[in-house]
Amino acid sequence: MTKGSINVSVENIFPLIKKFLYSDHEIFLRELISNGTDATLKLKHLTSIGEASVEYGNPHLEVKIDKEGKKLHIIDQGLGMTADEVEKYINQVAFSGAEEFLDKYKDSAKDSGIIGHFGLGFYSAFMVADKVEIITKSFKDEPAAHWTCDGSPEFTLEPSDKTERGTEIILHIAEDSTEFLEEARISSLLSKYNKFMPVPIKFGTKEIDDPEHEPATITDKDGKETKEPQRKITVDNIINNPNPAWTKQPADLETEDYQNFYRELYPMQFEEPLFHIHLNVDYPFNLTGVLYFPKMTNDMGVQKDKIQLYQNQVYVTDNVEGIVPEFLTMLRGVIDSPDIPLNVSRSYLQADGAVKKISSYITRKVADKLKSLFNANREDFEAKWNDIKIVIEYGMLSEDKFFDKAEAFALYPTVDGKYFTYEELTEKIKDAQTDKDGKLVILYASDKDAQHSYIEDAKAKGYEVLLLDSPIISHLMQKLEGSKENITFSRVDADHINNLIKKEDTQISKLSDDEKKKLEEVLKAAIPAEKFSVQLETSDSDATPFIITQPEFMRRMKEMQQTGGGGMNMFGSMPEMYNLVVNTNAPLVSDILNTESEDDQKRLITQSLDLARLSQGLLKGEELTNFIKRSYSMIK
C-alpha cells in the first residue's frame, strides 16, 4: 500500500470546499457523473481510432444507494485509471485544479449564481462525503487500483481485485448530508442534471409490462370473459435519454418528435408549443438547441418553465440571461454549447465576444424562422399572432436588428380581424387617413368593447382601426413613430374623430360666436373643471352631442410609466384628465342653450355628461346609482 500526501499547499482544503459551495452541494453528483461519462466517451473514441484493443460494447453508468452502509456508489464502464494515473490525475492534477479554483474565486463567492455551476470536478465529492474511495481498473492490461482519502490531505493507494474495466467512486456520506442517501432526492437530481446525458445511466430497477406476454382471455363457467393479469418484468431503470432531439439533424425529425421532446423537457406542461426553432451552428462557435414558442399571455410575470442551458448534454442552468437576448427568454427549450464560459460572472459573460455572437445568432435565427412561417402559411401565422405578439413586439422594442427583420412578419390586426403588415397597412390607409399636414394617422383601440362608440365613429368615416392591446404597445408605438417618416398613432378616444385626423374642410357651425360663448359659460357652470376640460366642436348634426376623450400623449406616457420606462415617473402621479367634447351642431346642444329654466338646463347637461361618461366606462358608484334613478324618473 502506498501512503502519501496530496499535493496541496493549504493544511486542509476540504472544509473550505464544503463551505465555499454550500448552497450548491448537490452538484457533486453532476460532476461525478460527468467524469464517468467522459471516461466512457474517451474509451469510445480510443476504440474507434484503434488505440484501445477492447470491445466497447454498450456501456452504462450506474448510481447506487447503500442506505445502511451510508454510501453512494457511482460506477462507470469507461476507460478506468492505472495506479500511476490515479497518482497523476487525482493526487496532483485534479487537486491543483480545485485549489486554483478556490484561490481564484474565494472572494467572489457571492458573485452571481453562475460560479456554482462550474464544478470542482472530482473533489466536489468532499462537499457531501467525509471519506471517498476510488476503485478503478484501466482498459490497459494493468492491475486495478484502490484509492482512499478521508478528507485530510493524506491518502492511501493500494491494489484492488476489481476485474471489470471502469471506475467505481464510493462516497461515505457525511452526517450532515444524509439527504443524498434518499432515493427521491437522488432521483430528482438525476432528472435535473442528467436527463439528457449521452451515456445511459441506471438508477435501480423498475417493473414494466412484459412485452412478450399477451394476456389471454379467460372464460369462466358462466361464460363471462376476463383478461388474465399482465405479466410484469423487472428491467434497469435508465433515467436519461442519451439522444435528445437537439443532438439530431433537423432533417431526421418530424414535428411530432419535437412535440415529444417538449413533453420530455417539461413533463408538467400540457399545452402543445406553437412552433419550434432548431438551432445548429458549428462556426464560429458551437451551438445546438431547440427553442419553442409557447402560447403566451399578456402576463409577463415569472414563468417556471424556462430555456435550459446545457454543456455537452450536461445541464448547467435555466438562467440564460445574458446568453439569450432578453426578449427570447420568454421562449422554452434547450441550448447546448461548449463555447459558453461558465466560470465567470454574468457581467463578464455579457461582454464576452463569443457570447455576443451567440446572442445575435439566436436573434437572427428566430427572425428567419418567423419570416418563413409567415411566408409558408400566413393564415396559420395570423391565427397564432395573439399568442406570439408579445415576444415579437418586445423583440422589436429591444433589439434594433430584430426590429428591422420584423418588418416582414410583424402584424397589425384591426378590430375587424384583418391582419396587415406595416407596409400593407400604410398602403391601405394612406389616402383616407393622411391629415392636412401630410401626416399619416394610424388609429387604434385597446379594448373593442370599452371603446365601441369611438370605433364606430371612426369606421363611419371609412377609417381602419387597429386593435393593439399588448402591455408594451405604447413603447412600441413610440419607437415606430420615431423610426418611420411622418406617422402618428392615435387611440380612437384620444379626441373627437374630426380632430384625430384633421382635414381641410371645416364644418359650418349652427351657432353664432355669441351663442358659443354663452354655451361655454352654461356648460362650465354645470361641469366640474378639475375633471373635464370643455371643448366645443362643430360636427355633423347627427353626431354624438357629448363625448369624453383622453389626450393621447398624457395617456400613453402614463401607460409607459406603468410598464416600465425611464424618466416618466412624473406622468404616473398626474391625475386622470379628460376632455369633454361638445358638438355644437347637435340639436340637443341647441336645446340646452335654449332652455329657459336653469334647473332644467343643468339636468340636461348632467344627464348628457353622464351618458358620455357611461360610454367611456367612467360612471361608477354613487354617480351611477344617481344616474339610473334620474333616468327612471325621466321615463316615468
Ligand X SMILES: Nc1ncnc2c1ncn2[C@@H]1O[C@H](COP(=O)(O)OP(=O)(O)OP(=O)(O)O)[C@@H](O)[C@H]1O
**Which residues would be at the binding site for ligand X (CB under 6 A)?**
31, 35-36, 39, 76, 78-81, 89-90, 93-94, 97, 119, 121-122, 167
- Are 366 and 396 a contacting pair, CB within 8 Å? no
Give DSSP secondary structure letters for 497-560. Answer: HHHHS--S--PPPSS-HHHHHHHHHHHHHHS-TTTEEEEEE---TTS-SEEEE--HHHHHHHHH
State which residue has the least CB distance to ligand X.
Answer: 121
Least distance (Å) between residue 120 CB and ligand X = 7
Query: Which one, 122 or 412, has the nearer CB to ligand X?
Result: 122
Q: What is the largest CA-CA distance in the chain?
A: 118
Measure the CA–CA gap between 328 and 340, rounded to whole angstroms.
17
Q: What is the smallest separation between the CB atom of 358 and ligand X, expressed in angstroms?
A: 21
31 is in an annotated binding site: yes
Q: How many other C-beta atoms are found inside a 10 Å radius of the C-beta of residue 286?
A: 16
Q: Is 87 annotated as a binding residue?
A: no
Give residue 26's identity as a one-letter amino acid code: E
Q: How far is the CB of 163 from ligand X (least distance, A)?
A: 16
- Axis crossing angle, helix 598-615 with helix 513-526, rounded to the nearest 10: 80
When the beta carbons of 117 and 365 are compared against ligand X, the nearer one is 117
Minimum gap (Å) between residue 137 Cβ and ligand X: 10
Minimum gap (Å) between residue 388 Cβ and ligand X:
38
Nearer to ligand X, 138 or 615 (CB): 138
Whose CA is closest to 192, among 329, 28, 316? 316
Residue 500 has which C-alpha cell?
A: 384625430
CB of 97 to ligand X, least distance (A): 6
DSSP state of 244: -
Whose grid coordinates read 412561417?
373
Cα distance between residue 280 and residue 289, in whole Å:
7
State how beta strands 287-293 and 332-336 pair: antiparallel
CB of 143 to ligand X, least distance (A): 16
Per-residue cell: 619: 360612471
Position of cell 456554482? 116
Segments of 122-165 assigned E as strands? 129-137, 144-149, 154-160
Using the structure block, give the residue that is written with the C-alpha cell 465576444. 353
Cβ closest to ligand X, residue 59 vs residue 273 = 59
CB of 95 to ligand X, least distance (A): 8
Nearer CB in complex with ligand X: 84/207:
84
Neighbours of 502 (CB within 10 A): 13
Q: How far is the CB of 43 from ligand X (least distance, A)?
A: 9
415 in Cβ contact with 462 (< 8 Å)? no
Q: Which is nearer to ligand X, 80 or 325 (CB)?
A: 80
- Ligand-binding annotation for 346, yes or no, is yes
Pick the closer one to ligand X by CB: 137 or 491: 137
In the bound complex, what is the minimum distance in angstroms from residue 229's beta carbon to ligand X?
43
d(CA 61, CA 63): 7
Q: Any known ligand binding at 167? A: yes
DSSP string, 369-402: HHHHHHHH-HHHHHHHHHHHHHHHHHHHHH-HHH
Cα separation, 360 vs 365, whole angstroms: 9
* Shorter beta-carbon distance to ligand X: residue 90 or 445: 90
In terms of CB distance, is 39 or 370 closer to ligand X? Answer: 39
505 conformational bin, left if phi > 0, alpha if psi -120 to 50, beta if neither: beta
The C-alpha atoms of residue 442 and residue 488 are separated, in whole angstroms, by 6
* Whether the Cβ atoms of residue 592 and residue 522 lie closer than 8 Å to each other: yes
Q: For residue 553, what are the contacts with CB-CB under 8 A and spacing of at least 6?
A: none
96 is in an annotated binding site: yes
Cβ 47 to ligand X shortest distance, Å = 15
Pairwise CA distance, residues 44 & 391, whole Å? 43
| Of 433, 446, 451, 560, residue with least CA distance to 500 | 433
Nearer to ligand X, 51 or 368 (CB): 51
Residue 35 assigned as binding residue: yes
Per the DSSP assignment, residues forming a β-bridge with 550 are: none
The smaller minimum CB distance to ligand X, of residues 31 and 493, is found at 31
Instruction: Report residue 465: phi and psi, to 5°.
Output: -120, 125
List, as residue ranges, the binding site for ATP.
Answer: 31, 35, 76, 81, 96-97, 167, 346
Per the annotation, binding residues are 31, 35, 76, 81, 96-97, 167, 346
